[in-house]
Structure 1
Amino acid sequence: MSGTGWRPGACAIAGIGTTDFSRDSGRSDLTLATQAVLAALDDAGIAAAEVDGIVRCDMDLVRHNDLAEALGIRQLSYWGECGPGGVAPSALIGQAVGAILSGQADTVVAFRSLNGRSGRRYGAAPASAAQQVVGGGATYDEFFLPHGLLTAGQMFALMAQRHMIEYGSTPEQLGSIAIACRDRAQANPAAQMHGRPLTMDDYLSARMISSPLRLYDYCLETDGAAAVVVTSAARARDCRNGAALIQAVAQASLPGTQPGTMFPVLMRDSITSLSSRAVAELLWARSGLGPADVDVAQLYDCFTITLLLQLEDYGFAKRGEGGAFAADGGIGLDGLLPCNTSGGHLSEGYIHGMNHIVEAVRQIRGTSSAQVPGAEVSLVTSAPPPASSALILTADR
């Protein structure tokens, strides 16, 4: 459980790539994936023919063999997938590391591609919500539909409401998270919300979607793709942009793992903590690091409340004090824990967490549009229920 046998820094991310982020890409998911992977390979200075492993999110419409064909890869020796959804990105890096260290592959591409606005909209109610009868759909989540629980936004709104009841957190504290992410997007020309600053008045006057969550508490809907190239640290050091060392990766669920994809987590004794609390314990143990060692973090922010809960779960703030930590400037660029420096899912784009890994690498390289001076330890979380994953990247010094 403590990660015996884990080898910190044995593998690294050698290449990163993204497409543009938009509301209507005009391209297929496969085209987006191919463009992002080619960009990542070019960033690393590695030819597509050298890729022998591909890992993907379980919700991605692009299969590993589709992408291999598009890239001209003649043969794969490893492929895998992980999920659901936003749980996947950090866990995919763990799969890539496992494949490399076990000798199953040498160069592994991890990617996420989606037309999340012009195609499948993940914030919308599922088609099954219109059914007159539920059951037999091979999911526990469907049994919550007759009670009016239809979307992720509603579920996280319940978590936010409970946090407010138990700890006195406020809408203004959630608003400070939305504004901090929007501020970072103003420095990032690739962000969807670049050129569209947000004030507290804007936040508070925005329409309520699922109380207490307003419009700007929700992440963006994005068409786009992001990809990274994982290889051994030794090889990455010889690549075009060097190595962002993978210090640790962890996956975990809470004791008594809930079934289903999302809604059943509301049946837990407490809904003001995510499975990221269990991930944090494992991640700190594997890395030999702790919260005080982290220079910059990319915290999964499908909603503002998600980021708030992770501030507490990872030990950056005491239980019930995540909102105050954010409101007091703790997640700002000059704060104790600069967060989501490209704008995050709230303001850069929602690529199910893979763009967070890309930004974490930029911070390690010193090339972010909102660079944290001297950043050497970069945390990434992939955090929605029912389980979570996370990773730590470090500079190669």
Structure 2
Amino acid sequence: MNLKYNKPAAAAFKSLVITVAPMLALIIAAALSQLFPAAVFAAGAESGMLITDMASREVRLEKNAKRVLAVNSASRFIAYLGCAGALAGIENIDKNFINTRAYTIALRGLFEKLPAVGEGGAGKPLDLEKIISLNPDVIFEAFNDREAAELMQKKTGLKVVSLSYGDKSWYDESVFFASLNTAAKVMGRETRAAELISYVGSLNADLARRAAVNKIGRRARCYIGAVSFRGRQGIVSTDSMYTPFIKAGAENAVSEIGANSHIFLDREKLLVYDPEFIFIDAAGLSMVSEDYLKNRSYYQRLSAVKNKKVYLCLPSVFYYLNIETLYINSYFVGKIINPEAFSDIDPAAKAGEIFAKFCGADCYEAMNREYGAFSRLEFGETGVTLEKF
């Protein structure tokens, strides 16, 4: 047979192949997806979200989470992101101590209705059977314990994402921002995270501008006492990296001690440091009051007590850190130690604004009823009394 090459016909055939081939590939792929759906799911899983959490664990998610649990204080992050409606359950510490924190006050109606998945708190076990029965898309936890997170994921068969407030310090702003962004990516709340981070940036800029106005030519020497640590504590429980002192431009009297943020200070050391101003965390006020009645002479040796420069601020710690309170207390500290630079600040109004920005509601009045904050403390014959600032 004598075959001759027909150039026009070959070109037409090539054009037909180029046109039809992609269509055939789509048809075949669609048919295979019906016959072998598992294969398609596996391929899709590889193209889902890969989250690197704050414990440096890689967690792959198919899509944004719609139903979650937040344990080990992680419910605070969910509240900040404005997506608490996605919570399938909470710990009892968020149900039974509602008036102690702004985010639980703001979400009271929701939290009272949600089922409990454990007591909550350091060393308190979670109800893994209850967690499994609720079947969330993701479990958030904020103790930032890699081994514990891996064990929880293994025991429940559910995805676990670790968050964190800080590294060596109790609070590290950059770590908080990274945690907020991590949770936001899981929840599809990136815009809200960006808004809150921007707001914190505006607070930082405002505080830095005010702190730079210093008429006395030195930083006020301050001490924070009664900081909670695994429960209420007395005057020697302190924070060497107390964020409000840093933000307000104060000198922390115990900043030279150690790399850890929380410290149980030797009682005699406090007398040696003898700060000009003492701030008491309201959560531990009862402990300070009880101690004063037993050790009046000790307190009367402190210059801040003698000069009536002891003040009560809102609790920065209850089931780990109340981030919004750190910024609220920064303004209060500034108002006390540098009144001229903070002359236009009403601490209660500023607290209401910050609570609303973080938690979605002005929780100041409820917090004030619980703690009686923003007061001067009078150490008198009958005990410690509050004089409203």
Q: TM-score, normalised by structure 2?
A: 0.30
Please, what TM-score do these two structures have when normalized by structure 1? Answer: 0.30
Task: Say which structure, 1 or 2, has more relative contact order (CA 8 Å, 6+ apart).
Answer: 1
Q: Which has the larger radius of gyration?
A: 2
Which is helix-richer, 1 or 2?
2
